[in-house]
Amino acid sequence: MTDISRRNWLKTAAVSSTLMAGGITAASAKAVDPMPSKWDETFDVVVIGSGFAGLAAAIEARLAGASVCVLEKMRTIGGNSIINGGIMGVPGSPMQKREGLEDSPELMAEDMFREGGGLNHREKVLHMCKQALPTWEWTVKELGVEWVQERVAQEGGHSVPRCAITKNGSGSGIVLKEVEKLKSLGVVPRTRVFMEKIIRDADGRVKGVQVREGYKFPDAKSGKVKFIAAKRAVVLAHGGFGADVKFRSIQDPKLTEKLGTTCQPGATSEAWRESARIGCHMIQTDWIQCAPWTAPSEKGMGIALFFAQGAAAMFGVWVEDKNGTRFVDELANRKVRADAIMNLLNQGVHCYAVADAKGVEPMGVSRPGLLEKMLERKCVRRYDTLEALAAGEKINLEGLKKSIAEWNDAVKTGHDKHYNRYVNKKAVPMGTGPWYVSTMVPKVHHCMGGIYTDMHAHALDIVNDEPIPGLYAAGEASGGVHGAVRLGSCAVTDCIVYGRIAGQNAAKETPWS
Amino acid sequence: MTDISRRNWLKTAAVSSTLMAGGITAASAKAVDPMPSKWDETFDVVVIGSGFAGLAAAIEARLAGASVCVLEKMRTIGGNSIINGGIMGVPGSPMQKREGLEDSPELMAEDMFREGGGLNHREKVLHMCKQALPTWEWTVKELGVEWVQERVAQEGGHSVPRCAITKNGSGSGIVLKEVEKLKSLGVVPRTRVFMEKIIRDADGRVKGVQVREGYKFPDAKSGKVKFIAAKRAVVLAHGGFGADVKFRSIQDPKLTEKLGTTCQPGATSEAWRESARIGCHMIQTDWIQCAPWTAPSEKGMGIALFFAQGAAAMFGVWVEDKNGTRFVDELANRKVRADAIMNLLNQGVHCYAVADAKGVEPMGVSRPGLLEKMLERKCVRRYDTLEALAAGEKINLEGLKKSIAEWNDAVKTGHDKHYNRYVNKKAVPMGTGPWYVSTMVPKVHHCMGGIYTDMHAHALDIVNDEPIPGLYAAGEASGGVHGAVRLGSCAVTDCIVYGRIAGQNAAKETPWS
């Protein structure tokens, strides 16, 4: 239908009088942004965003011979990628082999489907998992990324340890190498350049972007307006909107200003709104991953989570302050637990992780010195008695006592009547002071949804699910790979695999004239 | 930003040369559909869809003195509403009072929030619940809808019985009265008129629609193209897309062609795609409610569900055929159970509800004659022995025996080790023939997401969340009220409450010239 309309438009566009004659042709033509009278700059490929995906796309496009520019709205490059934990899901890596770990792309995909609750686009997931190893090898050979060789990490939801770890323990270990490579190819990412508009012409093709050069986040009117033409394609790799309270709470009203975020401040919705405005098919925008056990006093993920998870969730209780009662299976999946805490928080009820001296012992063994560090940072507090803890944290004491009695009963009988929580064999009844507590306020972490793309990373049109000519998307800006729950280490794989595919295909587009 | 752009556009539009001069003004102007040179017809308010919401909007707009037309793409009016169960959530109804039932709008809203998992837009839910009673009274006084006076129904998730029941036990009891009222006001809904495009002008205002008169569903090219101007506003009340396999499985890949639907065939995505294309902010489109226990051999909801739920889920087991094992808590909420069945179904594994002679007894008491009717329809099958049942239905016998043993153990101990399923006090160990079984294939039922609207039923713009001038939305076409799980009887309330609001406000818009 749209194609026909476009043809009609093209037929008539030549003779503008025909256009004014109106009738079906004109009125059914594609919505259109007026073209600028002149372009300030012209490139084959224009990449929006300087994270894992955008940089990978730029490198591949450049290697294919295209002229490329990378635009980053913030003062520094790397977006959330550069503050990311730097682990990448790679089935069949040399590190796994050395540890004698059996793994396969199919097994990794199954893990992602299971945790994704069937919301994942299966073909995309499978292709990503199959490309994971060659892509990891590419980061070594092509970029010189340094990976820990001795071991692999295991994140929640993965059925085997398969997460490759950067030597510097951060996403910067990948991002900085991508930037180096790009520089060696003559491309330096530009910072403080905000993409204000995607310019889609009457023929339906995206032909460039309107930007603000010298932009000062978050001032939408700052910087100088410029028009940059993309003769072959624009690649959208602008990441998620976890830091955008207004937009995220429209998609999921639980995600109010009461929550924190692990994202950098620039993780906002402008590019999401703009890609929807020009006709991208947006999917699963309301699936936004939150970390359940983070402490409000800490930046990013912090360390209090190791107490809430490793001590309280396994050997203690999670309670709310109003009635001192347990409110969720302390070992349910992250989404269930984060949702439960957020719903209480939005009703003015606060959630705490509580463990006693026995409960923190295993953590002391596995992570020596960490508890002391937590107490120092005050993200975990110590009290001599339960009464002092309840008073100090303003938790309903009677309810708290009942909750502990309930858990102790579960430890004795091996069955938690209330939430059917798994009872750890090492668990002993609570009651040995001193007592420890941390406040839990979920932090918005990752957007699973985004632009609907095909296997070639084409951005698809909401009108007919066909590729929008001249437009690609990859990474957190795109949707459908992770489904309901993204597994740790899968974002890096997704970003680099589909970022490269987007760049390779963008460079192959026939230039418009 | 957009407002500024619009002003810029208006400034320049007058002098078209300025437009061609390009620069920021032109390129940042709103995307625009060319206006038709002439409109074939003109009304104050054009309503898309002839269900509960569209008809309520049309009535209110007409009562406010506006000229109105109602466009329905199918051959018959009423959409899903006319085949709906005809129950309406109304807190504080005379029927509740007669039964001495305590209820309040706040309690109904709390029920919706709890089941909605915090995805509901709270202010909208509260307003809907407060308007429920006056709206129900309006259906009696203004429309003459006949309601059962002796009792109210209770649907899952409602903490008290609060569902008013139409005397004819169907949504048609409301729809036909709405149509009568509308006719008395001189408006006859037009059938086989398909809205092909929403026409949004350069100033950002929606000014009318492009339709195909004499449209033959689903032929997109059938019928004669016409342009209908809406001088005050267009009201989108086109319903959901549950019958659109392609679109629904993009939003939620679980919802493949393997599933059935309770929706009429016209529940497709064209209007969803079109409203997104012209800039509506779409939310929670991937939240699509499915009935878990429907039988593939039956149309719509059917009756087999009363066996799967009332007999097997309470006193029997739900098993899959491949291994004969239980696959979910038979009493988990509808979404959890439907998701579990769909994920298996999409792997080629089929799910069955099984009960023995003792298990069907309570149903025989509460619904005499129903079991016989089920057997007659073959949506429930009877076998003398478990072996015969396994053979007849191709279910793994050994696994089935283990599953029954597991449940019988739960009945004895009062605790279901596997799924912590609630053990009914009346339950007795299974083992008394004959045996009964039904096949369970979920059916796609209702779209919770849709166009993001404000309290006045304005459709909001993805660019800035401001109302799109001249555009309203209500009913299943709009999103945010029901959140993750819509409660039975709340759709009717939502449709009529916000349909009326949309019609009242549409009639108040200042006509464009």
Could you read off the pLDDT of B357-370 as tens digits, one per residue? 999 998 888 788 99
Chain A residues with CB under 8 Å of B342 CB are 118
Nearest 5°: CA angle at B218, between B214 and B222? Answer: 35
- The β-bridge relationship of strands B193-200 and B206-213 is antiparallel
> What is the residue-wise DSSP string for A84-96?
S--EEE-TT-HHH
Tens-binned pLDDT, residue by residue, of chain A (513 aa): 333 343 333 333 333 333 333 333 333 334 567 799 999 999 999 999 999 999 999 999 999 999 999 999 999 999 999 999 899 999 999 999 999 999 999 999 999 998 898 899 999 999 999 999 999 999 999 999 999 999 898 888 888 999 999 999 899 999 999 999 999 999 999 999 999 999 999 899 999 999 999 999 999 999 999 999 999 999 999 999 999 999 999 999 999 999 999 999 999 999 999 999 999 999 999 999 998 999 999 988 899 998 998 899 999 999 999 999 999 999 888 888 999 999 899 889 999 999 999 999 988 887 889 999 999 999 999 999 999 999 999 999 999 999 999 999 999 998 888 887 888 888 999 999 999 999 999 999 999 999 999 999 999 999 999 999 999 999 999 999 999 999 999 999 999 999 999 999 999 999 998
Contact criterion met (CB < 8 Å) for B22 and A1: no
Closest chain B residue to the Cα of A481, Cα to Cα: B253
Angstrom distance (rounded) from CA A151 to CA A290: 27
Tokens of A445: 């972490």
Nearest to A250 among B38, B196, B452 (CB): B452
Angstrom distance (rounded) from CA B246 to CA A119: 14
Angstrom distance (rounded) from CA B502 to CA B485: 24
Angstrom distance (rounded) from CA A268 to CA A310: 32
Most A CBs within 10 A among B283, B345, B347, B454, hence the mutation to make, goes to B283
Nearest to A119 among B220, B252, B415 (CB): B252
**Between A and B, how many CB-CB pairs are < 8 A?**
161
Nearest to A273 among B36, B250, B462 (CB): B462
Closest chain B residue to the Cα of A415, Cα to Cα: B417
Tokens of A236: 């959208």
pLDDT computed for residue B3 by the predictor: 37
- The β-bridge relationship of strands B163-165 and B87-89 is antiparallel
CA distance A185 to chain B (A): 32
Question: Are residues A448 and A482 in contact, defined by beta-carbon separation less than 8 angstroms?
Answer: yes
Contact criterion met (CB < 8 Å) for A31 and B277: yes
A211: three-class secondary structure by DSSP: strand
pLDDT computed for residue B31 by the predictor: 52
A379: three-class secondary structure by DSSP: coil
Contact criterion met (CB < 8 Å) for A254 and B118: yes
CA distance A434 to chain B (A): 34
Contact criterion met (CB < 8 Å) for B21 and A37: yes
Most A CBs within 10 A among B226, B227, B420, B451, hence the mutation to make, goes to B420
- The β-bridge relationship of strands A435-440 and A458-460 is unpaired
Q: Which class would CATH give A1-287+448-513?
A: alpha beta
B283: three-class secondary structure by DSSP: strand
pLDDT computed for residue B32 by the predictor: 60
pLDDT digits (tens, 9 = 90+) for B152-205: 988 888 889 999 999 998 999 999 999 999 999 999 999 999 999 999 998 999
Contact criterion met (CB < 8 Å) for B119 and A252: yes
Chain B residues with CB under 8 Å of A26 CB are 34-37
Most A CBs within 10 A among B244, B328, B452, B462, hence the mutation to make, goes to B462
**H helix intervals, A418-480:** none
Tokens of B318: 């739900």
Catalytic residues of B: 334
Give me the long-range contacts of B382-389 (CB less than 8 A, separation at least 24). Answer: B382/B434, B382/B435, B382/B436, B383/B433, B383/B434, B383/B435, B383/B436, B383/B437, B384/B433, B384/B434, B384/B435, B385/B433, B385/B435, B386/B433, B386/B435, B388/B435, B389/B354, B389/B435, B389/B437
Buried b (16+ CB within 10 A) or exposed e, A444-459: bbbbbbbbbbbeebbb
- The average pLDDT across B296-308 equals 91
Contact criterion met (CB < 8 Å) for A31 and B27: no
pLDDT computed for residue A424 by the predictor: 86
> Residue A261, Cα to own-chain centre: how many angstroms?
11
Contact criterion met (CB < 8 Å) for B1 and A220: yes
Most A CBs within 10 A among B251, B256, B290, hence the mutation to make, goes to B251
**φ, ψ of residue A491 in degrees (nearest 5):** -65, -45
Q: Tell me the pLDDT band of B26, cut-offs 50, 70 and 90.
A: very low
- The average pLDDT across B117-137 equals 97
Residue B161: is the preceding peptide bond cis (ω within 30°)?
Answer: no
Give the start-end residues of each E strand in B390-466.
Answer: 435-440, 443-447, 450-452, 458-460
Closest chain B residue to the Cα of A20, Cα to Cα: B37
pLDDT computed for residue B21 by the predictor: 33
Angstrom distance (rounded) from CA B486 to CA B482: 5
Indicate where chain A has its CATH 3.50.50.60 domain(s). 1-287+448-513
Nearest 5°: CA angle at B233, between B229 and B234? Answer: 80
Nearest to A462 among B199, B246, B277 (CB): B277
Question: Are residues A253 and B122 in contact, defined by beta-carbon separation less than 8 angstroms?
Answer: yes
> Residue A445, Cα to own-chain centre: how many angstroms?
6
Catalytic residues of A: 334
pLDDT computed for residue B154 by the predictor: 84
Indicate where chain A has its CATH 3.90.700.10 domain(s). 291-444
Tokens of A314: 């396994």
Q: Cβ-count burial of B422 within 10 angstroms (0-12 exposed, 13-18 middle, 19+ buried)?
A: middle
Q: What is the CATH number of domain A291-444?
A: 3.90.700.10
Chain A residues with CB under 8 Å of B285 CB are 283, 285
Chain B residues with CB under 8 Å of A463 CB are 273-274, 277
DSSP state of B158: -
Question: Are residues B435 and B483 in contact, defined by beta-carbon separation less than 8 angstroms?
Answer: no
- The average pLDDT across B325-335 equals 90
Question: Are residues A314 and A424 in contact, defined by beta-carbon separation less than 8 angstroms?
Answer: yes
Please choose, from the candidates A455, A360, A386, A404, the residue with its C-alpha nearest in 3D space to the C-alpha of residue A127: A455
Contact criterion met (CB < 8 Å) for B278 and A31: yes
Contact criterion met (CB < 8 Å) for B27 and A251: no
